[in-house]
Structure 1
Amino acid sequence: MKPAGTSATLLAYFSRAGENYWYGRRRDLAVGNTKAAADTIADLAGVEVFRIEEDEPYPHDFDTTLARNQREQARDARPLITGSLPDPDRFDTVLLGCPVWNNRAPMIMHTFLDGFDMAGKTMYPFATYGIGVGQVFDDYADLYVGRAVIGEGLALRGEEVAEAEPDIEHWLTGIGLLQS
């Protein structure tokens, strides 16, 4: 497989290492599940990558992180992102990745989307999850009705990301970013 002309594609993702959900228990991860998936996508598709990093890091403890995210969701908060966002005018397509927290995308994803104009672009979301993909893809579709095209998403169980390259390759081929 080789990239299919992906020069106008941005892969933007948020990931968190540390204690994570792992088959009903908790496990420390040196690399977050979404970063592992994003690394595979970048290796296969050869796209430009932007890692969304929070100005105030989320706690190492998984339950404390989810509690913070619940408070952020209740306030419709926009956690600050470190650094400058990429120029949206340079991209036609955005691969947008995140973990699923409390059935939704972490609020930092809203910070990114508030600052990155998606009008006229095609977004292909991907998410890593412990229990299910929740409302992440539906929320993006509702948010961008009439402003952006939301293409086929990819949901990956966090515990299985290390073995997900065939699924990722299939998804990238299906959305036209890889050719045989």
Structure 2
Amino acid sequence: MRYVNYDATVQRNVREQETDARPAIEGRLPSLDGYDTILLAGPIRNALAPMTMTTFVEALDFRGTTLHPVTTHAMSGLGTTERDYPPPAPARIAEGLAVRGEEVKGADTEVEAWLRRIRLTTR
């Protein structure tokens, strides 16, 4: 049953990609003032981030930040996030992390190793 919802979500994403849509985001977006490193996380569908992520990125000022894309995916890895993020708001794109959606629950070791590599460990 979950695949029906997933398929509908992917189909919506494809329609939005084909029309270069900018879906609205409900609520106020956060200020990035005071942050120098940002982990920007979201899914990859049809090799691209959802257009909602484009809306999000275009609405914020990433100037002076280092951005690490984090994605879940079925087979696309980071997809095109390194190319799509963050223009028009300039940031330095650094090493990202892509985790297969089916493996998220068991990805603790992979996430910890990545956080150590990018020097963002909490321990």
Range class of TM-score, shorter chain: 0.7 to 0.9
Matches within 5 A, 1:67-86: 67-86=11-30
CA shift at 1:148, angstroms? 1.0
* Match in the other structure for 2:61: 117
Quote the Cα distance in structure 2 between the aligned partners of 1:149 and 1:109.
17
State the TM-score, normalizing by the size of structure 1.
Answer: 0.62
Residue 103 of structure 1 contacts residue 136 of structure 1 at CA under 8 Å; is this kept in 2?
no
| Counterpart-to-counterpart distance in 2, 1:172 and 1:140 | 20
Cα RMSD of the aligned pairs, angstroms, is 2.0
Q: How big is the shift at 1:87?
A: 0.9
Structure 2 residue ranges without an equivalent (≥5): none
Separation of aligned partners in 1, 2:80 and 2:56 = 18
Residue aligning to 2:111: 168
Identify the residue that residue 36 of structure 2 maps to in structure 1.
Answer: 92
Q: How many residues align?
A: 122
Name the one with the larger strand percent. Answer: 1
Change (3 A) 1:178 1:115: same
Output the TM-score relative to the length of structure 2.
0.88
Greater relative contact order (Cα < 8 A, sep 6+): 1
Paired with 2:62 and 2:30, the residues of 1 have a C-alpha distance of 12
Tell me how far apart the structure 1 counterparts of residues 121 and 7 of structure 2 sit (CA, whole Å): 37
Identity of aligned residues (%): 43
Matches within 5 A, 1:34-73: 61-73=5-17
In structure 1, the residue matched to 2:92 is: 149
